[in-house]
Amino acid sequence: MKLELARCIKLHEDKVWSLDFSRGLLASGSTDRRTKIVSIKPEAQVTLVDELDDSTHSKSVRSVAWRPGTSILATGSFDTTVSIWTREETEEGEEYDSEEDEASREYSNSNHDNKYVMELLAIIEGHENEVKSVAWSYDGSLLATCARDKSVWIWETDEIGEEYECISVLQEHSQDVKNVVWHPSLPILASSSYDDTIRIWTDYDDDWECSAVLNGHKGTVWSSDFEKSNNNSNIRLCSGSDDCTVRVWKKLNKGEVGTSVKGTDDINDGNANEEEDEEEENDIYDNDDKWICEAILPQEHTRSIYSVSWGPNGMIASAGSDGKLVIYHEVEDKNEKNKMRWEVLCIKELIHGIYECNIVKWIDVEGELLLATGGDDGYVNLWKLI
């Protein structure tokens, strides 16, 4: 398999930091302080549909996130604020339809015929300094934000998305929190930090608590992403770091805590005592979950990994300062049956020319899976795996 460039789009005048794709629309945030929205149709047809009011943020837009199933967008900025945007209902109730005009389907800076106006709905203040990441929970009811002030805030909102109430301030990281990401179908949050750890946060009776600390990376953890699995008893997370490694972490289920240590299923029964001992040793929190580092993926990166994305196809993509895009997949071990191992499927170098890549995301364009990347060159590139 190889990666082929399907489209490259010059969207920004400076670093592209963040991308998010939902319902056919890709939002991008940049150090040029702008947030742009492009529509992506099959065959990688790209059209610029809106540019958010650039007077809202006075510094880099670091993170953008669509609220699931809606036209609401959250953007987090180095200016300490988070802004919330929504699509304005057009008077004619007209939906944007690209089929009417062939020419407008091509990306063009000057073409604003396709009205898609995003209006400012709210500004959320609270963080002391640069906001680094924003993320919506799977049902859209909660927004998580994190900042250099070492904290993660969880905000609750209603259907309209106009009012935000902070329900929790999580302050257990000892350094900047770089990234927050939610599980795709459960109320579980992962935060990655400059303190080299990932923390897992879980809701216990409306009280958000740290349920696990994932130690192992030997440098800033820039990004993490949960596996897109329908099986909620199998929760895994991948992470990328300054230490040039991508790691896969797995939450152990109750029965697995003992067996994983022994590595065989036979010991499972009649060994309750040993499991208890095991738990006592590791218990730090009342509501402790057990996570293990299941795998360190084959090391291909030579500089910081800024972004990882776990695709709905089960593949993990990573990209970073060395300008490489690496795709990994899980295959059955040749020597040991029923054992899976990670292999590199393909690598593409210089994905933004000589510039660094800050973000990679799997995007599903009407059934076709593409990879979107954003670089220091101000470009958003779309890649096809063929």
Partner 1 sequence: LNSITESTSDEESDENLKSLTQSTHLIQDTIDPIDAQEIYDLTAYIQDPEHPLTLGQLSIVNLEDIQVHDTGNQKEMAEVVIHITPTITHCSLATLIGLGIRVRLERALPPRFRITILLKKGTHQSENQVNKQLNDKERVTAACENEQLLNVVSNMLSTCK
- Please tell me whether residue 225 binds partner 1 under the rule CB under 8 A: no
Site string for partner 1, 101-140 (x = CB under 8 A): ----------------------------xx-x--------
Least distance from partner 1 to the Cβ atom of residue 34, Å: 14
Least distance from partner 1 to the Cβ atom of residue 5, Å: 15
Least distance from partner 1 to the Cβ atom of residue 131, Å: 11
- Please tell me whether residue 376 binds partner 1 under the rule CB under 8 A: yes
Size of interface with partner 1, in residues (CB under 8 A) = 30
Positions in 342-371 near partner 1 (CB under 8 A): 350, 353-356
Least distance from partner 1 to the Cβ atom of residue 218, Å: 11
Site string for partner 1, 310-329 (x = CB under 8 A): -----------xxx------
Least distance from partner 1 to the Cβ atom of residue 209, Å: 27
Nearer to partner 1, 63 or 114 (CB): 63
- Please tell me whether residue 67 binds partner 1 under the rule CB under 8 A: no
Other CB atoms within 10 A of residue 112 CB: 14
- Looking only at the bridges linking them, the beta strands covering 72-77 and 61-66 are antiparallel
- Please tell me whether residue 42 binds partner 1 under the rule CB under 8 A: no
- Please tell me whether residue 13 binds partner 1 under the rule CB under 8 A: yes
Nearer to partner 1, 28 or 157 (CB): 28
Nearer to partner 1, 225 or 243 (CB): 243
- Please tell me whether residue 194 binds partner 1 under the rule CB under 8 A: yes
- Please tell me whether residue 69 binds partner 1 under the rule CB under 8 A: no
Question: Would you state the structure tokens that stand for residue 149, as one six-digit string?
Answer: 């002030």
Residues that bind partner 1 (CB under 8 A): 13-15, 31, 59-60, 62, 78, 129-130, 132, 148, 176, 178, 194, 219-220, 303-304, 306, 321-323, 350, 353-356, 376-377
